[in-house]
């Protein structure tokens, strides 16, 4: 389950931000997860709870925002929506679609006190 190490990097970002902005506790963490990333939201919630125990983010609520997958088709030159990583172009059915969005795992917002 690689979500555990990803959750640890998220916590790292939170702790770095806490040091820079001098807050003591985090109430809510808004995390963007791309539809084409390999991150499972359910697993992420579970791992986040586990790794934040005893940290400044203990008990914080994790809000997950899913970013849709998008790509650019090299065959028909259109920007398209992708629902899976190696999805075919919905316009022409070609497999040569370059992913342009939906790969992210990013801390978008922190609600702190």
Q: Do the beta carbons of residue 99 and residue 25 sit within 8 Å?
A: no
Answer yes or no whether residue 75 interacts with Zn ion by CB under 5 A.
Answer: yes
Closer of 5 and 81 to Zn ion (Cβ) = 81
Closer of 56 and 92 to Zn ion (Cβ) = 92
Enumerate residues 11-70 that contact Zn ion by CB under 5 A. none
User: Which of 41, 56, 64, 76 is close enough to bind Zn ion by CB under 5 A?
Assistant: 76
| Alpha-carbon span 57 to 19, nearest angstrom | 13
Going through 1-68 in order, the beta strands assigned E by DSSP cover 26-34, 61-67
């Amino acid at each position: 389950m690689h979500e555990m190490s990803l959750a640890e990097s998220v916590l790292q970002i939170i702790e770095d931000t806490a040091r820079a902005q001098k807050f003591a506790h985090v109430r809510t963490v808004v995390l963007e997860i791309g539809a084409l990333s390999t991150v499972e939201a359910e697993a992420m919630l579970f791992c986040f709870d586990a790794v934040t125990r005893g940290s400044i983010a203990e008990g914080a609520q994790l809000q997950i925002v899913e970013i849709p997958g998008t790509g650019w088709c090299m065959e028909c030159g259109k920007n398209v929506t992708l629902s899976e990583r190696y999805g075919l172009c919905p316009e022409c059915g070609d497999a040569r679609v370059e992913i342009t969005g939906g790969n992210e795992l990013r801390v978008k917002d922190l609600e702190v006190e």
